[in-house]
Structure 1
Amino acid sequence: MTTETVDLSLSALRLRVEEFLYREAALLDDWRLEEWVELFTLDCTYEVPAADHPDGDPGTTWSLIHDRRTMLEQRIIRLKKPEAHAEFPHSRTSRIIGNVMVEERTPETITARSTFLVSRMKAGKFDQYAGHYRYELVPHRDAFLIRRKKAVLTHDRLAPQGKISFVL
């Protein structure tokens, strides 16, 4: 196997990962949250660590979000209810995903990273959230499933946004 063959293979994998991440972003922007959660494995973890402890252990430090599959499903149910005043009517979001890199791959998992910029419009207010995603993906049929997603904000604090009531 030549270096060129390996590079092309890695390039093809990165392209497949990019397409998957773009599809995930579109589902979130379109508020197709039930379809979005189906991109996750049953043993998944979705995490948004506190801005002041982005590398903290969620077992010992506070996180903005640290959900397993059941809690993720419950979060979606709550977000879609009219009683969820922070998201009814829901925010309009636009995500830009970039700098997608495949960091590691085995036959069972792919570790990937990307940057994000999420613009949120709600009640005449415009906020932006920037950071990077870290994924652990498992091959599934013609695409992937997400075993772990971590959204790390580059903000040193949430102010002036104050809170995150939507899915990053």
Structure 2
Amino acid sequence: MELQYHVEQLLTRYVQCIDDDRLEAWPDLFVDDCSYRIIPRENADRGMSIGIMDCDSRGMLHDRVVSLRNANVYPEHFYRHLVSSVHIAGIDNGEISVQSNYAVLQTRNDGTTKLYSAGRYMDRIVAVGDALRFKEKLVILDTYRIDTLLARPL
């Protein structure tokens, strides 16, 4: 039960960084040699790792945030993540395998809210000192279609 709690707290901190626009803190939830990928379900089901976003280190996650803040231009919008069914699938060599479902609502500056993305997280989590960190975060979209710019992490 204690491990479940700590895993759920890590997932909560993850989505709050994104939802509260504290993106600079987002990479700190990962180990240095991490992997972060967003992949359509169609590719994941075929064993193809080709994704929409692919970062293979915490440094790349930091670069992604810098790009979001300085280079990308997009209309103001807000995310709200809903995470459910957090399941610890196993522990192997100190890595915790976790699967959960997610849905992201997007509210635009005109006040409209819509379902932006839904799918599942496939995570490998490790302990770093007293804290848990993501070693791998695989975001599997239920579809390959995103009808607006995918600028922020999911």
- Which band: TM-score by shorter chain? 0.7 to 0.9
Residue 138 of structure 1: aligned partner: 126
Alignment of 1:53-92 (within 5 A): 53-55=43-45, 56-58=47-49, 62-69=50-57, 70-81=59-70, 83-86=71-74, 89=76, 91-92=77-78
Query: Which runs of structure 1 show a deviation greater than 4 angstroms over 4 or more consecutive aligned residues?
Result: none
SS at match of 1:131: strand
TM-fit CA distance, 1:126: 3.3
Residue 42 of structure 1: aligned partner: 32
* TM-score of the two chains, using structure 1 as the length reference: 0.80
1:28 to 9, 18, 30: 18
Extract unaligned runs of 5+ from structure 1.
1-10
* TM-score of the two chains, using structure 2 as the length reference: 0.87
TM-fit CA distance, 1:80: 1.1
**Count of matched residue positions in the alignment of Structure 1 and Structure 2:** 150
**In 2: Cα distance, 1:42 partner to 1:147 partner:** 8
Contact 2:105/2:114 (CA < 8 Å) preserved in 1?
A: yes
TM-fit CA distance, 1:54: 2.3
Extract unaligned runs of 5+ from structure 2.
none
Identical pairs, percent: 23
Give the greater-gyration-radius structure (CA): 1
Distance 1:51 1:107, change over 3 A: closer
1:149 maps to a residue whose letter is: K
2:106 maps to a residue whose letter is: R
Distance 1:52 1:145, change over 3 A: same
